[in-house]
């Protein structure tokens, strides 16, 4: 993938570290709002082996209210500028808003991560013109209401069909096919059973596009193990390894160090 002036090879697993700059982000409690703290957190994730830092200023928490464009720009642009200046890492902008995508790319972002899969009016032209990779994620419904009894026929088929149709729309709009990543969107309009089935059958998403998996600290772990957010590291790493075994090429995680150790062991067994 070509991410602005940086390149990322998908021949090895790529770890994306999560940098929340939202005041209500569910696992960091807004502790990283401060620019300096954000920078230090990003630096430590890069040192631990993250190749991408995903900067998000809009909470996608189930049941959350959306933030205004001005609020989101205020939060993410200074962080992206600082990261771009101080670190040699690909910066991903986690947003669904075209204006935020545009400003983030101008500030140095080299990738777009959109839980809305570029469905917002004007998002595809911006991604196509920027030429950066895009991660298209599946979500049933919208963040505010998506966990209100999601119903599927076959969850894997529905997610696959949706992602294929979004990829086709992006390609028709001028996005380079080689710059598309797909993501089943664990926890986004899915119950625990849906998440487990998606993970078990991840290979059925196909081989056309690299697959990203975001399982880190998610509520399925809380539900299955009864653990609070800050004690979900081990289970998150276990789920990440299952995702790898089932074909995922990119992992979106909070705990970069533990995940990278596990990835290296996985790759020692299967690739080295
Ligand atoms: C509350 C619930 C807060 C869930 C935050 C979340 C993904 C993502 C998120 C994912 C991609 C989280 C999520 N999850 N982008 N953004 N894939 N591509 O746990 O699974 O970070 S937000």
pLDDT the model gives residue 199: 98
Residue 268 CB coordination number (10 Å): 9
Which residues make Cβ contacts (< 8 Å) with residue 230, sequence separation at least 6? 27
pLDDT the model gives residue 25: 45
Residues 151-173 have a mean pLDDT of 97
Which residues line the pocket of ligand 1, CB cutoff 6 A?
18, 26, 59-62, 94, 113, 115, 135, 137, 183, 185-187, 212, 214, 218, 252
Q: What percent of the chain has pLDDT over 90?
A: 82
- Distance, CA 56 to ligand 1 centroid (Å)? 10
Closest residue to atom 17 of ligand 1, CA basis: 214
Give tens-digit pLDDT for 30-69: 444 478 889 999 999 999 999 999 999 876 665 566 778 8
Domain residue ranges of the chain, discontinuous segments joined by +: 2-270
Q: Label residue 265 exposed, middle or buried (CB < 10 Å: 0-12, 13-18, 19+).
A: exposed
Closest residue to atom 15 of ligand 1, CA basis: 115
Distance of CA 104 to the CA centre of its chain: 16
Residues 159-163 have a mean pLDDT of 98
- Distance, CA 158 to ligand 1 centroid (Å)? 19
**Six-digit token string for 50:** 């993250």
- Distance, CA 19 to ligand 1 centroid (Å)? 11
Q: Which fold has domain 2-270?
A: TIM Barrel (3.20.20)
Closest residue to atom 6 of ligand 1, CA basis: 61
- Distance, CA 214 to ligand 1 centroid (Å)? 6
pLDDT the model gives residue 31: 45
pLDDT level of residue 28 (50, 70, 90 thresholds): low
Give tens-digit pLDDT for 193-237: 999 999 999 999 999 999 999 999 999 999 999 999 999 999 999
Distance of CA 219 to the CA centre of its chain: 16
Which sequence positions are flagged as catalytic? 218, 252
Residues 242-261 have a mean pLDDT of 98
């Amino acid at each position: 993938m070509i991410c602005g002036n940086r390149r990322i090879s998908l021949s090895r697993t790529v770890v994306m570290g999560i940098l929340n700059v939202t005041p209500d982000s569910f696992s960091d409690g807004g502790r990283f709002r401060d620019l300096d703290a954000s920078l230090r957190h990003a630096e430590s994730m890069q040192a631990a082996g993250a190749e991408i830092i995903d900067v998000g200023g809009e909470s996608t928490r189930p049941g959350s209210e959306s933030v205004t464009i001005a609020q989101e720009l205020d939060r993410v642009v200074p962080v992206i500028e600082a990261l771009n200046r101080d670190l040699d890492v690909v910066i991903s902008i986690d947003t669904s808003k075209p204006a935020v995508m545009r400003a983030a790319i101008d500030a140095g972002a080299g990738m777009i991560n959109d839980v809305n899969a570029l469905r917002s009016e004007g998002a595809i032209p911006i991604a196509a013109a920027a030429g950066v990779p895009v991660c298209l994620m599946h979500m049933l419904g919208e963040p505010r209401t998506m966990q209100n009894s999601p119903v599927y026929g076959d969850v894997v088929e529905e997610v696959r069909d949706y992602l294929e149709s979004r990829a086709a729309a992006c390609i028709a709009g001028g996005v380079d096919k080689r710059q598309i990543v797909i993501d089943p969107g664990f926890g986004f309009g899915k119950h625990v059973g849906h998440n487990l089935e998606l993970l078990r059958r991840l290979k059925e998403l196909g081989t056309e596009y690299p697959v990203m998996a975001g399982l880190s600290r998610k509520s399925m772990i809380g539900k299955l193990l009864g653990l609070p957010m800050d004690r979900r590291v081990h289970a998150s790493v276990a789920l990440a390894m299952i995702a790898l075994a089932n074909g995922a090429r990119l992992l979106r995680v909070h705990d970069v160090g533990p995940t990278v150790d596990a990835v290296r062991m996985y790759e020692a067994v299967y690739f080295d």
